[in-house]
């Protein structure tokens, strides 16, 4: 049973495709640092009840079935940062995760879907600094980037010099993407200059590596804080803004994501620059993957369904996507244990 070969499925394997990014017909450029505009930060307002009402409709607005659903799920795999950030991580676990990243679907599914030519793989592998070299070696020749969590992940409370040096070490070890953590207290205290300077320092330390700014949205208390932190991180030069470390009590949610992607949209409209988005933590099912993709498609458009502008921070979600694709080709659900991650 072949998947419909629409644009999404044909390009499902791409990681950093060089395609024009447009919004409302306007071509955008990659984000770069601009001066902090405090007026933009202070004028932020969020109607929480309206956001929650809109977020509640996201899973009901689109019905994607059969081959088209399979194509969307293939795109979800291509946009996934396959992640292991556990206290008991080991080099062997990271190697197994990298093998899964190279070949995320079992061979019989690839043949049944007739997608051999896609060379499907995930968007990146995300690990602690200690395993960057292991991951780089395991992924050699695959084109899959290694992302490292840095800056005192997950709390982000180490001295600034220590966090900056950690970024430099990860880049030197071969990481081409860095997921940094902001100091949440800057947001609570309205210290926007301090937050801007911190994120700018991290971006400088990244050099050529792409930087994703983790806001720790579950700790920020209000959607207005989330929106303001998003604006400051973007103005400081973040390539992506990301919800969570995955270690907070509350991680990625649709209302938070709606606020963040609308900040990205307005930032693009004002500046002509495109910022990527990464929800992370708590996204575990294929159904959730479809909901976040529907959100991106509705709010930002087709360009934000490319791995260059959209990533999931996930691991267990891949197993559920495999199960859904197994059902698509066979009509039966397989047991979860048949789809190990690492």
Domains of the chain: 7-12+32-338 (3.20.20.70)
Does 278 qualify as catalytic in the annotation?
yes
What is the rounded CA–CA span in Å between residue 167 and residue 164?
A: 5
**Taking the CB of residue 3, how many other CB atoms lie within 10 A of it?**
26
Of these residues, 81, 100, 179, 239, which one is catalytic? 179
Structure token pair of residue 271: 């500046």
Of these residues, 100, 242, 297, 320, which one is catalytic? 242
Does 247 qualify as catalytic in the annotation?
no
**What are the φ/ψ torsions at residue 155 (nearest 5 degrees)?**
-80, -30
Of these residues, 100, 203, 212, 278, which one is catalytic? 278
**Residue 286: per-residue pLDDT:** 94
Q: 59, 65 in Cβ contact below 8 A?
A: no
Q: 206, 167 in Cβ contact below 8 A?
A: yes
Averages of pLDDT over each 10 residues, the chain, 342 residues: 46 51 92 98 97 92 84 96 95 96 94 94 97 98 97 94 98 98 97 98 98 97 97 98 93 97 98 98 93 95 96 91 93 76 58
How far out from the chain centre does Cα 243 lie?
9
What is the rounded CA–CA span in Å between residue 25 and residue 46?
A: 26
Does 242 qualify as catalytic in the annotation?
yes
Q: Could you write out the DSSP letters of every residue in 29-43?
A: EE-------HHHHHT
∠ CA 59-103-110, rounded to 5°: 70
How far out from the chain centre does Cα 290 lie?
14
**Taking the CB of residue 112, how many other CB atoms lie within 10 A of it?**
18
């Amino acid at each position: 049973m072949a998947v419909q070969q629409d644009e999404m499925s044909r390009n499902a394997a791409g990681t950093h495709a060089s395609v024009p990014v447009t919004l409302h017909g306007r071509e955008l450029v990659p984000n770069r640092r601009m001066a902090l505009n405090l007026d933009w930060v202070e004028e932020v307002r969020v109607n929480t009840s309206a956001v929650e009402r809109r977020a509640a409709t996201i899973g009901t607005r689109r019905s994607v079935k059969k081959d088209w659903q399979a194509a969307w799920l293939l795109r979800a795999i291509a946009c996934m940062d396959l992640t292991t950030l556990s206290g008991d991580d080991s080099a062997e676990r990271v190697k197994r995760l990298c093998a899964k990243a190279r070949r995320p679907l079992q061979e019989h599914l690839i043949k049944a879907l007739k997608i051999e030519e896609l060379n499907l793989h995930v968007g990146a592998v995300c690990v602690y600094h200690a395993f960057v070299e292991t991951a780089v070696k395991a992924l050699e020749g695959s084109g899959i980037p290694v992302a490292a969590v840095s800056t005192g992940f997950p709390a982000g409370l180490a001295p600034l010099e220590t966090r900056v040096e950690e970024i430099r070490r990860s880049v030197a070890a071969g990481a081409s993407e860095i997921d940094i953590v902001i100091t949440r207290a800057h947001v609570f205290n309205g210290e926007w200059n301090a937050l801007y300077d911190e994120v700018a320092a991290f971006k400088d330390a990244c050099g050529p590596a792409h930087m994703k700014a983790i806001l720790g949205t579950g700790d920020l208390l209000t959607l207005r804080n989330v929106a303001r932190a998003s604006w400051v991180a973007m103005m400081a030069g973040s390539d992506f803004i990301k919800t969570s470390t995955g270690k907070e009590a509350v991680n990625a949610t649709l209302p938070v994501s709606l606020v963040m992607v609308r900040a990205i949209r307005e930032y693009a409209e004002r500046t002509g620059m495109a910022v990527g988005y990464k929800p992370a933590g708590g996204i575990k099912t294929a159904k959730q993957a479809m909901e976040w993709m529907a959100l991106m498609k509705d709010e930002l458009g087709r360009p934000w369904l490319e791995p260059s502008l959209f990533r999931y921070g996930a691991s267990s979600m891949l197993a559920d996507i495999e199960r859904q694709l197994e059902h698509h080709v066979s009509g039966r659900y397989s047991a979860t244990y048949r789809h190990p991650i690492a």
